[in-house]
Each structure stands twice: as C-alpha cells, then as structure tokens.
Chain A
Amino acid sequence: MNTTQPFTGMYNETTAWTLTFAAWLVASVSTLGALFFGEVMQLPPCVLCWYQRIFMFPLVLILPIGLFPFDRKVVRYALPLAALGWLFAVFHLLLIAGVIPESIKPCTQGVPCSQKVIEWFGFVTIPLLSVVAFSTLIALLVLTYSRSSK
C-alpha cells in the first residue's frame, strides 16, 4: 500500500470497518449457532449459557449500527459486552474441564452447566466455541480501536 497518499485516514478507516464487520460476522454466526442448538436441536440452555447469550446477542445489532456510517466509538459499546461474555465463557469452560469444583457452580436446577451436551472430535464443546468466539470478538474490537485511532 502507498503510505504517502493523502488519504491514510481513509485507509485506516476501511481496515477498521472490515475488522468491525468481521466481528459482526463472528457475533452473528455465534448467535445463529446458539439458536440452532437451542431452538432447532432443542438442547435446553443451562444458566451459564443464558448469561453468555445475554452478552452475545446484542452485538449482532450494536455492531452494524457502528458500521453504517462507521463510528469507531462502537468499540466502546461493544467491548464491555464481549469482555463480560468472555468471563462467563471461560468460567463455564473451566467448570466443564473440572478445574473449578462442582460445588461453586451457580446452577443447581434445570440443566447442570457441568454437563457436556456436545463433544465434537473429542474436545469441541459449546463452552469452548463460546470462548473462541468471545476471544476473537475482543481481538477484532481491540484491533479496530488501534487501527482507527491514528
């Protein structure tokens, strides 16, 4: 790329836009995936899954609002959601992995959160997908911020 062109600001903004767009793709795929597990496969979500959904679903709407027209402030609104969702996802993953003992799991009724309802290739569980999605979101949002700040 020609860095001496006068519109370097434009270049950064396009990159930042693409990064936020990618974040929206991740949030949308995660949301549709969660809906597929819950509504199509009829797997009842446990309590921790609901908290992760609470932080994932709004991103599908918040991120596009920052895309048209592009507004770098969208990071300020989206990142707290992604960060909190990530914490719940990590907690859930550790619970499933057995690192966190059963006794402090927050759900006692309904579906136990420590139950693995899906295990693809022997290691891919829903909480793992959730951690991967939230981590990717955080990375993309942080990159958006750094690309659009200068």
Chain B
Amino acid sequence: MKQKTLFIVAAVVLLLVFLIGTLAYKSEKTGQSAQLAERNRANLVRMHSPAFGKPDAPVVIVEFFDPACGTCREFYPLVKKMMAANPERIRLVLRYAPFHNGSDKVVAVLEAARKQGKFWPALEVLLGAQASWAPQHTPQVALVWRHLEGLGLNLEQLKVDMTAPEIAHVIAQDIEDARALNVTMTPEYFVNGKPLPSFGYEQLKKLVDDALNEAQRR
C-alpha cells in the first residue's frame, strides 16, 4: 500500500515538475521573442517584400512563409478571409523563409512571376497545387511549370529572370532577417511588430483583432 502511494506521488510530482517547467519556459520564451521583434524592427519589413492591401492600413501582418509548407497553405485563405472581413484595414507583407530543401528555387519562380506582375496568382496556384510539385515535402522546381501555364506568364522569360542576382539577394536577405527574428518555423506571423504568443489560428485572430481595436480607438 505504501509502495503504491509512493509510486503515485512520484508520478504526480514528476508530471507537475514537467508542466511547471513547460509553462515557465514558454512564458520566458514569449517575452524574449517579443523583445527580439522589438529590437529588430528593421528586419521585419523590407522595401523589396511583396505586399497586399492598402499601404497605410493600420494593421500590418508580416508573414514568414515557405511555399512548400503545408500549414502556410492552410493559413493563406484564413488570412485572406480576415483581410476581406476588414477591407482596407489590414495589409499583408510576405517574407520568404524557404526552410524546405529546394524551396528557394520555388521562391525564385514566384519572384520572377512578380516581375511580370503575376505574383499573387502564381502564389495561389502554387499553394493550391502544393501536393503535386512538392511530393513528400520535397519541392521540385521542375514540377511547378505546368501549374503556371494558365496564368499567361512568359515562362521562357521567367526561367531567365529567376536566376537574376537581385532575386538571390532578396531570398538571402529574407533568410537573414528570419534568423535575426528567430523565425524557425513557418508560417510565423508578426502583427504590427508583435509575434504570436504561441502558434495557432485563434492566437493570430486575437492578435489581429486587438490591433484592429487599438487602431479604432486612435
């Protein structure tokens, strides 16, 4: 009997220590990432970043994303819906965090499509067809072309453009900024410079709603 009590008490104590440790670690981390974002504000938005929405919108969502990331694909329509629900009040700035091996090539395709004014259609088509050009989470740039055919892009020109040094520079800058802001997973969102306390749609929604309310009061 005493042995059973001892065992149960030990198990409960171990689990409690684990939970308290987890909470303590999380709260310390949240404080740190907020400070990090505060200190590295310059890394958040670059002139070269593709953006969508009114330039002087009161709420700016900066999203670090990877075109081959499944969660980024799932969140994209959710963010669009938030923007549609608050017209002219939210601006979305996209930053690249091509963490998947080979994603940088696909990002270069997007940037080259941007030169032809087709960034957003290309992005939406590629996100929609993600499973077919990134089988087993392995992006293969050779598989993206047929998805871009219907967009009226000059693909020959695009293939030349995607090797341009300025595109490589944009990608390198974004990766460097992601590192400075300690972005290790995609998608990562910053709403008016504030990082998500923990990842999730609810958390993002709350951060955006808070920012909208704050903008309303001003």
Contact = CB atoms under 8 A, between A and B. Distances in A.
Interface of A: 17, 21, 24-25, 28-29, 32, 35-36, 40-42, 64, 67-68
B21 A67 contact: no
B14 A28 contact: yes
Size category of the binding interface on chain B: 10 to 19
Contacts of B21: 36, 40
Nearest to B6: A21
Contact of A42 (B6, B7, B14, B184): B184
A24 B6 CA distance: 12
The winner among A32, A35, A64 for most chain B CB atoms within 10 A is: A32
Contact of B14 (A29, A40, A68): A29
Given A40-B21, A40-B22, A41-B25, A25 B4 contact: no
B18 interface: yes
A36 B22 contact: yes
Given A25-B10, A28-B14, A29-B14, A68 B4 contact: yes
B18 A21 contact: no
A25 B158 CA distance: 61
Q: Is the interface of A mostly helix, strand, loop or mixed?
A: helix
B11 interface: yes
A24 B11 CA distance: 10
B100 interface: no
A21 to B, nearest CB: 7
Interface in B128-149: none
A42 B184 CA distance: 10
Nearest to A14: B3
28 contacts: A17-B3, A21-B3, A21-B6, A21-B7, A21-B10, A24-B7, A25-B10, A25-B14, A28-B14, A32-B14, A32-B15, A32-B17, A32-B18, A36-B18, A36-B22, A36-B25, A40-B21, A40-B22, A40-B25, A40-B26, A41-B25, A42-B184, A42-B185, A67-B3, A67-B7, A68-B3, A68-B4, A68-B7
